[in-house]
Amino acid sequence: MRNKDRATISRRAMLQALGVAAVGAPLSLSAQGRCMLTFGAPACNTTEIKPIFEPTGWKTVALDHFTFRVADYRKEAAFYIALMGWKLRSDDGKQAVVDMGDWGSAIFRQVAPEAFETPAGDGGRGRGGPVRVAVESFAFVIDQWNATKVEAELKKRGLNPVAEHDGKGFESFRVKDPDGWEVRICNGNGLVKSRKASPANAKLSEPAPFESTGWKTVWLDHFSFNASNYKNSASFYRNLLGWTPTYDEGSQNELLMGDVGDIIIRGGNPLDPEFGKGPARRAAGQIDHISFGIAPWDTDGVKAELEKRGLRAQIDTSSRHLRAGRNPHRGLQELSHRDAQRLQPADQLCNEGQPVGVAQCRETEPIQGRPIW
């Protein structure tokens, strides 16, 4: 918890210095997991497992990018530019690279519409429309870069790295996590360097889908990541990229990705006596939503701006734990929306009512925010 406090305060202190202290902080996962009301049950065993391999000793120091595969990459990019204030860096006719801020980039990669599989049970539809976009990978910069040594350490752990060097200084390796999710490990000479060297000011040929909100995306709050075995996946990222676990709830674990943001890894519990005996609750190896902090923030105003643009906003206080009389463990506000045509998985826009640390939030009554999905 103390490590989490330091990381959280560090990110918030930076934002306060920039004049955006009201923008969100990481979610408290205990208000979300399926074990929040059955803590201690056999299915919610929080015992730590043996590490899946020896720690590399690396630390994650930056987000280079994450990649969306989409049926119409220009329309997707135009949507985020208008909604979230993202800036186009390049468009080569096959993909668009956008800067979300000085802290991260996103790549929208064109694929054929039929490339999207139909999930069982929902007819291949999100909230009101077919799924035509998905996050397919992410790329992180580590602190100790020597391509030869990095490759050797990956091979030592049986990860079969695939080198992707551009010959201009950028070096990276692709590996797969336990569910086959693609992880790219990089030096700092890719998009991180580009964001520092020059502003993203390219022009997109696709018209905006609606009037710009004028918002700025100021940080990554968290990824919500589905795994077949959440303990294995948490161990993988902890020992590969130096991510710091905060709390094992029995069905998920929240980890700090250095100073980049958080990730909530959810899925099956291998210590559950019924593990593997039935269908998985969620498809493994995928991100089901991403949460971002925006500025400026006004809860009612943000909700109104979303609805003005035809984007559905729904109140969701995640209050089941309160009705059950449990420790609330939640002192945050968040605002999110899911546009079924464009946002699959969903984005969340987050704000916190008071600039306090996560530990303080967990020890006090919840701030009276109005979360919106």
pLDDT at 195 > cutoff 60: yes
* Cα–Cα distance for residue pair 323/321, rounded to 1 Å: 6
Band (pLDDT 50/70/90 cuts) for residue 34 is confident
Chain segment 303-333, per-residue pLDDT in tens: 899 999 999 876 554 544 433 333 322 223 3
Domains 2-55+214-363 and 60-197 share a fold: yes
Three-state secondary structure string covering 190-256: CHHHHHHHCCCCCCCCCCCCCCCCCCEEEEEEEEEEEEEEHHHHHHHHHHHHCCEEEEECCCEEEEE
pLDDT value at position 117? 67
Average pLDDT, the chain: 79
- Across residues 236-251, what is the average pLDDT? 96
Segment 54-58 mean pLDDT = 98
Residue boundaries of the structural domains of the chain: 2-55+214-363, 60-197
pLDDT surpasses 60 at 291: yes
Q: In angstroms, rounded to a whole number, what is the distance separating the alpha carbons of residues 208 and 194?
A: 25
Label residue 187 by pLDDT band (50, 70, 90): very high
- Give the model's pLDDT for residue 315: 55
The confidence band for 270, taking pLDDT boundaries of 50, 70 and 90, is very high
Using one digit for the tens of pLDDT, what is the confidence trace for 102-137?
A: 999 999 999 998 888 655 444 444 445 677 899 999
26 or 368: whose pLDDT is higher? 26
Between strands 346-351 and 286-295, the pairing is: parallel
- Report pLDDT for 282: 74
Cα–Cα nearest to 72, from 25, 38, 23, 108? 108
How confident is the model at residue 129, as a pLDDT?
65
Q: How confident is the model at residue 266 (pLDDT cuts 50, 70, 90)?
A: very high
Distance CA 16, CA 122 (A): 43
Class of domain 60-197: alpha beta
| Whether pLDDT at 151 is above 70 | yes
Between 352 and 282, whose confidence is greater? 282
Architecture of 2-55+214-363 per CATH?
Roll (3.10)
What are the pLDDT digits (tens) for 42-52? Answer: 999 999 999 99
**Does position 91 have pLDDT exceeding 90, yes or no?**
yes
